[in-house]
Amino acid sequence: MSKLFFLTGVDGVAKVNLEATVVNPVSAGDIAMIGGATAGLLDVTVPAADVRCWGVKPARQGAWDSIQPGDVGLIYTASKKFGYWATVLDKVDDPLTATSLWGTDASDGAAWSLMFFLEVTAFSAPVDLAGVQTALGHGTGWFPQGFGFASEAAQSSFAQGFGALDEAVLSLDSGAVAPGGPVPIAGGVVPVMEQPFDFAGQKLITLSGASSASNPEVVGDTLNKHRTTLLALAKAAQAKNYDPVEPKKPAPNYDIKWNDGTHVWIAEVKGITAQNETTQLRLALGELLEFLHRQKTLNLKYGINVPFKGAIVTSDVPSVADRWRDVCTAYGIVLVCGTSASELNLAGL
């Protein structure tokens, strides 16, 4: 389960570093020139076009061990205000890059070498501390300090009534700070929850670095299989004028979506090999069912009445494809194996 954490950069060195590498992106060119372990994450788990990162000293090893991809953070940027929120993408122990970005601590000479990488989103207006205190179930004396996690009780209070932590965070942006409260539609406008599919972003890469994320998508050539298959799917949708899109928060993090005129399709794409096909297909089914549930919840919340279906698209044909098709069919999911045009037609294209 994702965890809620806090970062603070209100004054001093922390404020300077937060502005330099969280509020603003770091140059991928600079990171590549440094030559540390971080360079191996670029365009694998961390988009090279938008590198945002934070770090802690080795003395905070326990906290760094706890933070994982998918965790969600609130960023405290000014007195009694939260200006941004973030989702963790990956992490790495990289003293070389950390020292280049932030220097070393004046008190003990230690670098913030235990780094983690973030997808950062600005709130439309800074969120008052009082609203976060209420959502967490804290009193008025509480405020975040440094880098740390919400208690289990506070996170439970914060997320109550929402499908995921990021949905609870977005409720702060719209003013619904009461735990479990509905998300109002600002000015009666439904939020934009999708954006055009990024064809240029599906670049094939050479995996030269080691990612610490426990994600089979970044092992061996599986990532390239994923991107090749996703790009073929997007091009097939585009060829039929279905205008493929990708998610924008608060939408769930599906791979691709399109409208064929009858249904809206949400698809999860997996690169598979003989060694990982079972793990990948189980992961795909669980992820897609969660995405469909969260999308249905959002549609109900915002009064969006469109029929939608789910598809799992794999790079190759699994060894027991018929069994997996039966499993998917039982849950109303279409399984598409391979990237040929005839196979893609099975997904409503």
pLDDT by residue (tens digit) across 152-201? 999 999 988 777 788 888 888 754 333 333 344 444 456 778 889 988 87
The residue-averaged pLDDT of 122-143 equals: 91
Q: What does DSSP say about strands 148-149 and 4-8: parallel, antiparallel, or unpaired?
A: antiparallel
pLDDT at residue 324 tops 70: yes
The residue-averaged pLDDT of 304-308 equals: 83
Q: Tell me if 103 sits within 8 A of 139, measured CB to CB.
A: no
The per-residue pLDDT for 217 is 52
CA distance 135 to 158: 5
The residue-averaged pLDDT of 253-277 equals: 90
CA distance 132 to 312: 38
The per-residue pLDDT for 40 is 84
Helix (H, G, I), strand (E, B) or coil at 337: strand
Residue 215's pLDDT band, with cuts at 50, 70 and 90, is low
CA distance 178 to 170: 12
The per-residue pLDDT for 101 is 93
The residue-averaged pLDDT of 133-142 equals: 93
CA distance 239 to 84: 38
What are the structure tokens assigned to 107, written together? 């008190």
Between 194 and 53, the higher pLDDT residue: 53
pLDDT at residue 342 tops 70: no
pLDDT at residue 212 tops 50: no
What are the structure tokens assigned to 101, written together? 């970005």
Is the bond leading into 250 cis (omega within 30 degrees of zero)? yes
Q: Tell me if 52 sits within 8 A of 117, measured CB to CB.
A: yes
The residue-averaged pLDDT of 108-131 equals: 91
Between 338 and 316, the higher pLDDT residue: 316
Q: Which of 121-130, 220-229, 249-258, 324-333 has the lowest mean pLDDT?
A: 220-229
Q: Which of 207-221, 271-285, 323-337 has the lowest mean pLDDT?
A: 207-221
pLDDT at residue 312 tops 90: yes
pLDDT digits (tens, 9 = 90+) for 4-35: 999 998 888 889 999 999 999 998 888 888 88
Across all residues in the chain, what is the average pLDDT? 84
Burial class for 79, CB neighbours closer than 10 Å (0-12, 13-18, 19+): exposed
Residue 195 bridge partners (DSSP):
246
What DSSP letter does each residue of 11-45 carry, written as one string?
A: SHHHHHHHIIIIISPBPHHHHHHHTSGGGGGBTTT
Q: What is the CA radius of gyration of the chain?
A: 21
CA neighbours within 13 Å on the CB side: how many for 152? 1
Residue ranges covered by each domain of the chain: 4-184, 194-345
CA distance 85 to 54: 13
b/e code 260-292 from CB counts within 10 Å (16+ = b)? eeeebbbbbbbbbbeebbeebbebbbebbebbb
pLDDT at residue 62 tops 50: yes
In one letter, which amino acid is 81? Answer: K
The per-residue pLDDT for 308 is 87
The per-residue pLDDT for 148 is 93
Q: What does DSSP say about strands 264-270 and 308-314: parallel, antiparallel, or unpaired?
A: parallel
Q: Give just the sign of the alpha carbon dihedral 201, 205, 207, 209.
A: negative
What are the phi and psi torsion angles at 187 (to 5°)?
65, 15
b/e code 133-162 from CB counts within 10 Å (16+ = b)? bbbbbbeeeeebeebebbeeebbebbbeeb
pLDDT at residue 144 tops 70: yes
Angle between helices 152-159 and 165-174 (to 10 degrees): 60
CATH 3.40.1350 fits 194-345, yes or no: yes
Q: Other C-beta atoms within 10 Å of 40: how many?
A: 18
The per-residue pLDDT for 267 is 94
The per-residue pLDDT for 327 is 94
Residue 88's pLDDT band, with cuts at 50, 70 and 90, is very high
pLDDT at residue 211 tops 60: no
Q: Which of 115-124, 286-295, 340-349 has the lowest mean pLDDT?
A: 340-349
What DSSP letter does each residue of 150-182 carry, written as one string?
A: --HHHHHHHHTTSSSHHHHHHHHHHT--STT--
Between 88 and 181, the higher pLDDT residue: 88
pLDDT at residue 281 tops 90: yes
pLDDT at residue 202 tops 90: no
